[in-house]
Amino acid sequence: MTATDDRPATTPAPEIGQARKRKEDQHLITGRTTWTDNMTLPGMVHLAILRSPMAHATISNIDVSGALSRPGVIAAYSGQDFADTQGVIPCAWPVTPDMVNPGHPSLAVSQVNHVGEAVAVVVARDKASAQDALEAIEIDYEPLPVVLDMEAAVADGADLVHGHTSSNRSYTWAFESGAAGTGAPIDEVLGAAEVTVKRRFIQQRLIPAFMEPRSTVVQPIGEGFTMWSATQVPHILRTMLALTLGVAEHKVRVIAPDVGGGFGGKLQVTPEEVITTLVARKLGKPAKYTESRSESLMSAHHGRDQIQDITITAQRDGTVTGLDVHLYADMGAYLRLVSPGVPVLGAFMYNSIYKFQAYRFVCEGVFTNKTPTDAYRGAGRPEATFAIERIMTELADELGMDPMELRRKNWIKHEEFPFTSVCGLTYDSGNYEAATDRALELIGWDELRAEQAQRRESKDPVQLGLGISTFTEMCGLAPSRVLGSLDYAAGGWENAAIRVLATGKVEVVTGASAHGQGHETAWSQIVADQLGVPFEDIEIIHGDTQSSPKGLDTYGSRSLVVGAIAVVKAAEKVVAKARRIAAHMLEANEDDLDFAGGTFKVRGVPGEGKSIQEIAFATFAAHDLPDGMEPSLDADATYDPENFSFPHGTHLCAIDIDTETGHAKIRKYVCVDDIGHVINPLIVDGQVHGGLAQGIAQALYEEAIYDEDGNLTTGTFVDYLLPSAADLPSFTTDRTVSPSTSNPLGVKGVGEAGTIASTPAVVNAIVDALRPWGINDIQMPCTPERVWRAINEGAEHSERDPSGTVAYGGASTSTSDGTYAEGDQL
Amino acid sequence: MIPVSFDYVRPGSAAEAVQALVEAGEDGKILAGGQSLLPILRLRLAYPETVIDLGGISELVGVTDDGDGIVIGAMTTHDDVLHDSLVAQHAPLLAQATRTVADPQVRHRGTFGGALAHADPAGDLPAVALALDAELRLQSASGQRSVSAKDFFLDYLTTALEPGEILTSIRIPKLGDGWSTHYEKFNRVAQAWSIVAVAAAVRRSNGTITEARLGLTNMGPTPLRATATEQALAGADASAAAVRAATDQAAEGTSPPSDLSAKADYRRHLATVLTRRAVLTAAGI
Amino acid sequence: MTRVNVTVDGVGYTDEVEPRLLLVQYLRERLGKVGTVIGCDTSNCGACTVLLNGKSVKSCSVLAVQTDGGEVVTVEGLANADGSLHPVQQAFHDKHALQCGFCTPGMMMAACDLLRENPNPSEAEVREGIEGNLCRCTGYQNIVAAVQAAGAAMSGGAASGEASA
């Protein structure tokens, strides 16, 4: 039973559901920020890192001594100097027992495997001196064959990324509904199909591109150290650094101060964090490393990069029967924290909201000489949602059915919940009909279809396309036992503690680690309702392993669904303790007390009652407490969810295609999301808007491109295109509410919904516009050139020229930042 | 993110600037608005020993009317160009194109002269200068000279500026009666360089196009005139069909680059579409 | 070293600086004005935007020595002397126009400049006016609403065609 359950109807307006303005904003809008790079400590030294210009090479010689004679330089190290102490970057998700993990040194020792890999570090009294001295490092590379194409990489006789392995295949992970007992055998269903549609979709490589470049400050203290880092995961980082470096965990403190976005990109134990720690401990001085944007784009982990071969089968009437998924997933050169698990996270989502009889998922993780991939907003689920929403649309085209009617025919009806999917997941709640009907109404679907027909008829150079995405996702990572069954090394619980101070003010300690999500505001609203204390009287403490010692941090839309439930559980314990003291103070039986609006009253007895603040002070004074009761209202709780939550929604996109140039411009975007109960609609809308922007950007703009030598040619924001305000539409958002039945708040999580849902809506819209040309796919990003080639050459999967543009009249901006540039290239 | 070390001088006059440039020799670099130079320095794509900042030379700033043309000081910022009444009246094409250059912050610092002297073929203003038959005024220790825009842009990032010579002003002839203009720009995101763009000035008399001047952005190592289309338009009907026929030749004689924004053949196609649109819009067809 | 005299957020400074020192580095490393941040190295992101002599500039694209004799206003100088928020700051708070907050200083300074020129911008004008500033969190929708709301507050009128939210 929750504390909310025993509130009578007279309770003041709840905080939950209010559009509270954020507590976090004040220091952010006045520039009183604590970004890691803002920090200066007495005696601090600064690092600059030399990065490999080669995608694959043996380091035949490296001499850092030249840097030592440069002004202000304190030290310089190559990988050989740390070969025995640096350990390897941890991979916490060995998805199969025979997964090959080649080992990932933070500073390359004898071989480099991707452009941008760290090969040496210079330490100086200021950053400029360190940067200047990089050019004095002598390093010779013996080139090795560069492995870039995944299919070529797994072919017989392929050149190897890692010579000590037997192939470039890291693992093969498989699921099959017949074997799992969650559905029919896939081969039987595929064989009996009346209609079969096969497609290959390319999930291009993306870069998370958080706005704050990564930065790390390490202060050695005694046997251990304190690290400030731009990280999403201070708790995981602490544990992993302790294991990697052999420092006792209790001697390590990690602080995530203000963190400027992450999107999965800061869910990592980075080589730079390890290098900074090694240097600080070696010199006994506080040390700072802050990357440039160019360094970030080439060395911080990337996302997506999968080849998806999808087969769907159906009966002639449109009833879907089987779904067969094969992935090649590019790991890049190494396995980082959860690299292998990212595609596997999508394994249970390809079937989405549809009732398949049989399902198979096979994923092969492949090494290439590219930057490692890892989590990026949605992590596995955007890929799954894209594939199923695209293939459903293609199936509808094959059957001559309306794409929405095909979906309606096959999705789980609202009265069928809870529903166990062909993967064995139990979807607890949802109402796809309601969300879809609302979305169709908001966008004016029928009018747009009429306009489309008219434009086709008149051969208007600007054609209109309409795209659908009816998505679900699994959020709230994750039930620990499920993670265990997937061979993840850690659990998925979250911890919270509540401290009630003498004056009735409340401190809430959370293991979630926000970097823009608004936890301080949302958690305050939740606790205000739970304890009946004012919103303003609550302080949220997070992001420092010393003050919030236990947690598993923020990713996978888990903070509210797991982290905030832990807060609720702690609050329930506080209320239970307070109830006992209140009963003592009121000389009543605990069972006769009502708790509402922060006050305990004896049921049916008029009078003042005792407020939580009065009880707090009485507890502090401890003069007269119930016998045997310790003088504390404080409580903590660790919550491990029993199930995922399953947000869903219907996203619709109307897009104008200039068929003469190929340019696509979104005219209207409507989404109706069902994320269960909403704590703060202001924050939820913001999360949806931002998620949409990222998902749309995958469809239209973003792609990390390597040339044939393995250079990242989208190495700056000139060529890795993020949309600006001028490139995006105003979104129309709305919600339906089907509360989750898996947690006491009825919440589902919203951090990734917009990103997961929007990409296929946009691409479906583009393909819809181009159907009259016989086009049934456009490779992402759907650049004007690709759209134009599809129209004019039927080239649906045209390769882009990998050459970077000549921005500012420089050379190609790849591998820039002067780490190897020589001479004046102007 | 950190440039290499360099010496810095800030002359107070064009003559002093020329002197400083001569003294700096081949490792000297002119800093105008700095909106291209500073990114290049930050990325360490350039290693000047001396940077000569023209920001303190008031004689290089401002727009004046010399009767048949307007004269724009090389250090006049894009933002000042945008807000100048002489430019608005006599060179609206320049104002329209300038409004599409980068973003407001860059336009506050970047200068017209700097953009021309940098001669980035993906930049918007070289093609405009070319279409408007601008005359560039250069100064060196040996005196002053004028070079027409068609003779100024020699190759990729290469101009007629000699060592020791600076660009001091740009004269743009006023267009007479019957002229109208349009700048048609194509890019993937708003803040990006043009993939292709077209600067069009068209003169109409009754139902006929009597003359057209067309500058192409990013269709070769220098800004180019769409000469074949210009010739085809001269005397053509002011009709959509005639314009289409003429502008189908817009990519003739060009040699556009291939890069991740566009391969060369697609750029050539874009040039025809954008030229058609620019001409139709300019001519009010 | 070159001498620079500059006023930043109302305080005069005289310093000897290396010519290569960027304004943003001068602000952060010499003056401790760490409210202004660095988000890229190619002038795309606009996170470092400040006002120089009243106009928005990217402080990564100005040398500190170029500001000699000038006046700089950063995010730290935006609020009033009594600590009350500038209308743009207030509007960013009210409209939830920030999430992680890293782009926010530059975004607000760009907004101030936009509203100086156009006190009552349309949605499209706001979107174009902040095209030099990248945000990865908000999808810009609430930023656009905030800039319009700030304009309305500063000119005492109502926002024109406020972005739908």
d(CA B235, CA B212): 10
One-letter identity of residue A137: I
> Which pairing describes strands A224-229 and A45-51: parallel, antiparallel, or unpaired?
unpaired
d(CA B154, CA A818): 28
- CB-hemisphere CA count at 13 Å for B34? 27
Listing DSSP states for A291-329 in one string gives --HHHHHHHS-BEEEEEEEEEEEE-TTS-EEEEEEEEEE
User: Does pLDDT of C160 surpass 90?
Assistant: no
Contact yes or no for A721 and B186 at CB 8 A: no
Residues 6+ apart with CB under 8 A from A115: A51, A52, A53, A54, A55, A298, A371, A706, A710, A711, A712, A814, A815
Q: What is the DSSP letter of A336?
A: -
- CB-hemisphere CA count at 13 Å for C52? 26
Beta carbon pairs, A and C, within 8 Å: 187
Other C-beta atoms closer than 10 Å to the C-beta of A316 total: 9
Q: What is the pLDDT of residues B241-284, one digit of tens each?
A: 999 999 999 999 999 999 999 999 999 999 999 999 999 999 99
- Short-list A4, A622, A546, A612, CA closest to A225: A546
In degrees and rounded to multiples of 5, residue C44 shows phi and psi of: -85, -35
**Of the candidate ranges A126-140, B90-104, C14-28, C144-158, the one whose mean pLDDT is the lowest:** C144-158
Residue C110 near chain B (CB below 8 Å): yes
CA distances from residue A62 to A52, A73, A76, A105 in whole angstroms, order as listed: 12, 18, 11, 16
Contact yes or no for B262 and A785 at CB 8 A: yes
d(CA A389, CA A212): 33
List the subunits that have 3+ CB pairs under 8 angstroms with A: B, C
Q: List A359's β-bridge partners, or say none.
A: A323
Interface test with C, best of A724, A734, A762, A819 (most C CBs within 10 A): A724
Contact yes or no for C139 and A29 at CB 8 A: no
Residue C163's Cβ-count burial label (10 Å; 0-12, 13-18, 19+) is buried
Residues (pLDDT < 70) of chain A are: 1-12, 806-807, 809-826
Whose tokens are 């600590």? That residue is: C83
Contact yes or no for A49/A78 (Cβ under 8 A): no
- Short-list B283, B124, B184, B98, CA closest to A663: B184
Handedness of CA A598, A600, A604, A606 (dihedral sign): negative
List the subunits that have 3+ CB pairs under 8 angstroms with B: A, C
Contact residues on chain C for B35, CB-CB shorter than 8 A:
43, 61
Contact yes or no for A211 and C103 at CB 8 A: yes
d(CA A652, CA A427): 23
d(CA B211, CA B179): 9
Q: Which residues 20-49 of C are in CB contact (within 8 Å) with B?
A: 20, 22, 25, 38, 41-44, 46, 49
Q: List A596's β-bridge partners, or say none.
A: A599
Residue A277's Cβ-count burial label (10 Å; 0-12, 13-18, 19+) is buried
Q: List B52's β-bridge partners, or say none.
A: B9, B30
ipTM confidence: 0.97
In degrees and rounded to multiples of 5, residue A443 shows phi and psi of: -85, -15
Question: What's the pLDDT score for residue A3?
Answer: 41
Interface test with A, best of C100, C103, C128, C138 (most A CBs within 10 A): C100
Contact yes or no for A701 and B189 at CB 8 A: yes
Give the gap in angstroms from C-alpha C21 to the nearest C-alpha of chain B.
8
Contact residues on chain B for A825, CB-CB shorter than 8 A:
45-46
Contact yes or no for C55 and B103 at CB 8 A: no
> What percentage of chain B has pLDDT greater than the value 90?
99
Contact yes or no for B74/B169 (Cβ under 8 A): yes
Torsion of CA A451, A453, A456, A460, to 10 degrees: -20
Which of B10, B38, B104 minimises the CB distance to C113? B104
Question: What's the pLDDT score for residue A808?
Answer: 73
Contact yes or no for B6/B40 (Cβ under 8 A): no
d(CA A172, CA A155): 15
Q: Which residues 65-104 of C are in CB contact (within 8 Å) with B?
A: 65-66, 68
Tokens for A779? 């490779």
Q: What is the pLDDT of residues C23-49, one digit of tens each?
A: 999 999 999 999 999 999 999 999 999
Contact residues on chain C for A294, CB-CB shorter than 8 A:
41-42
Contact yes or no for C131 and B8 at CB 8 A: no
> Which pairing describes strands B28-31 and B50-53: parallel, antiparallel, or unpaired?
parallel
Residue A262's Cβ-count burial label (10 Å; 0-12, 13-18, 19+) is buried
Tokens for A245? 């470096």
Which of A661, A783, A808 minimises the CB distance to B270? A661
Interface test with C, best of A299, A730, A732, A762 (most C CBs within 10 A): A730
User: What crossing angle do the helices spanning C141-155 and C104-117 adopt, rounded to 10°?
Assistant: 40
Question: What's the pLDDT score for residue A159?
Answer: 98
Q: Among all residues of chain A, which has the CA nearest to that of B26?
A: A824
d(CA A166, CA A183): 35
Exposure string of C3-26, with b = 16+ CB inside 10 Å and e = fewer, is ebebbbbeeeeebebbbbbbbbbb
CA distances from residue A38 to A35, A54, A290, A339, C98 in whole angstroms, order as listed: 5, 32, 10, 30, 19
Contact residues on chain B for A289, CB-CB shorter than 8 A:
none
In degrees and rounded to multiples of 5, residue A513 shows phi and psi of: -130, 95
Q: Among all residues of chain C, which has the CA nearest to that of A32?
A: C35
Centroid of chain to Cα A616? 39
Torsion of CA B82, B87, B93, B97, to 10 degrees: -20
CA distances from residue C38 to A34, C12, C48, C71 in whole angstroms, order as listed: 14, 23, 6, 20
Centroid of chain to Cα C120? 18
Contact yes or no for A28 and C142 at CB 8 A: no
Contact yes or no for A324/A191 (Cβ under 8 A): no
- State chain A's maximal CA–CA distance in angstroms: 87
Which of B4, B34, B79 minimises the CB distance to C61? B34
Exposure string of A150-187, with b = 16+ CB inside 10 Å and e = fewer, is beebbeeebebbbeeeebbbbbebebbbbeeebbbbbe
Question: What's the pLDDT score for residue A805?
Answer: 78
Which of B2, B122, B260 minimises the CB distance to A802? B260
> Which pairing describes strands B69-73 and B166-173: parallel, antiparallel, or unpaired?
antiparallel
Contact residues on chain B for A724, CB-CB shorter than 8 A:
189-191
Contact yes or no for B38 and C61 at CB 8 A: yes
Contact yes or no for C141 and A26 at CB 8 A: no
CA distances from residue B110 to A98, B221, C63 in whole angstroms, order as listed: 58, 22, 13
Other C-beta atoms closer than 10 Å to the C-beta of A502 total: 12
Listing DSSP states for A725-783 in one string gives GGGS-PEEEEEE----SSSTT-B---TTHHHHHHHHHHHHHHHHHHGGGT----PSS--
Q: What is the DSSP letter of C84?
A: P
Can the peptide bond before residue A784 be classed as cis, meaning omega within 30 degrees of 0? no
Interface test with B, best of A70, A705, A783, A785 (most B CBs within 10 A): A785
Listing DSSP states for B209-262 in one string gives EEEEEEEEESSSSS-EE-HHHHHHHTTEESSHHHHHHHHTTTTTT-----BTTB
Q: Among all residues of chain B, which has the CA nearest to that of A819?
A: B44
Whose tokens are 């590219």? That residue is: A370
Listing DSSP states for B167-187 in one string gives EEEEEEEPP-TTEEEEEEEE-
Whose tokens are 């950190």? That residue is: B2
Question: What's the pLDDT score for residue B107?
Answer: 98
* Rounded (5°) CA angle A688-A728-C165: 45
Contact yes or no for C20 and B5 at CB 8 A: yes
Q: Among all residues of chain A, which has the CA nearest to that of C36?
A: A31
d(CA B56, CA A148): 51
Contact residues on chain A for B195, CB-CB shorter than 8 A:
784
Give the gap in angstroms from C-alpha C18 to the nearest C-alpha of chain B.
8
- A775-779: long-range contacts (C-beta < 8 A, 24 or more apart)? A776/A199, A776/A394, A776/A397, A777/A199, A777/A201, A777/A390, A777/A394, A779/A202, A779/A204
Question: What's the pLDDT score for residue A13?
Answer: 86
Contact yes or no for B106 and C132 at CB 8 A: yes
CA distances from residue A380 to A343, A376, A386, B190, B235 in whole angstroms, order as listed: 5, 9, 10, 30, 61
d(CA A13, CA A749): 23
Contact yes or no for B183/B278 (Cβ under 8 A): yes
Contact yes or no for B39 and C41 at CB 8 A: yes
Q: Which residues 802-821 of A are in CB contact (within 8 Å) with B?
A: 802-811, 813, 816-818, 821
Give the gap in angstroms from C-alpha A789 to the nearest C-alpha of chain B.
8
Q: Which residues of chain B approach chain A closer than 8 Å at the C-beta? A: 1-2, 4-5, 36, 39-40, 43-48, 118, 120, 122, 156-157, 186, 188-193, 195, 257-263, 266, 269-270, 273-274
